[in-house]
Amino acid sequence: MDYKKEFVQFMVRSGVLTFGDFVTKSGRNTPYFVNTGNYKTGLQAAKLGKFYADCIHEHMKENRISTDVKALFGPAYKGIPLAVSTSIALATEYGMDINYCFNRKEVKDHGEGGKMVGYRLNDGDKILITEDVITAGTAVREVMPQLKAAADVQVEGMIISVDRMERGRGEKTAVQEVEEEFGLKVYSIVTVREVIDMLHNVPVDGRVYIDDEMKAKMEAYLEQYCVK
């Protein structure tokens, strides 16, 4: 089983990928929801970091991401454990000892001060951003100026868990908008289309989460809000 399929099943088992009737922050009625805040155990964190590391390693092998990445940057707050767990997995699974760092929401006014924690960024460093999902690109727009203020870094790309493939502020997806606005590539472990393909009438621990009815609801949602 490849890591993408394992990741989809992992999200289901962790209660992160759920199906039913939900309302997104943007007010859209959606038949599925991804809540990465439901990861809560050490084992889950270890497995999650491994999936992110698998994604990074795959794109490095295909020469899409440079092997000279100096650090992983995790935007506060959900990106922080992602950067740490991914850094650990890259070291233990692939022998790549890559630094990690993250930002504070507020500037620290004592001790070493500043907004950045962990590796101190330097001019010319190539970095990857680790994030959970992109809904409207708000987090990216907040942290990019902070990164550039810390050092003249080169952002190699952003790794996210699921690309919902939904429109952002215009007619393009939020991922496409981020890529165009900041000139960085976004790599997702899986897309919502892959989720449907991997789970449609395929049981996870004896239960089918995407049957024909749920697939029809998800396809209708994609038709209304997503970019093909």
Residue tagged active-site, from 25, 40, 105, 110: 110
Quick: pLDDT tens for 95-152.
Answer: 999 999 999 876 655 445 568 999 999 999 999 999 998 866 677 888 888 898 999 9
Q: Which CATH class for the 3-225 domain?
A: alpha beta
Q: What is the pTM of this model?
A: 0.92
Q: Tokens 């922050």 appear where?
A: 25
Residue tagged active-site, from 108, 172, 185, 200: 108
Measured CA to CA, the distance from residue 127 to residue 156 in angstroms comes to 6
Clarify whether 110 is annotated catalytic.
Answer: yes
Measured CA to CA, the distance from residue 53 to residue 90 in angstroms comes to 5
Quick: pLDDT tens for 186-219.
Answer: 999 999 999 999 999 999 999 999 999 999 999 9
Clarify whether 5 is annotated catalytic.
Answer: no
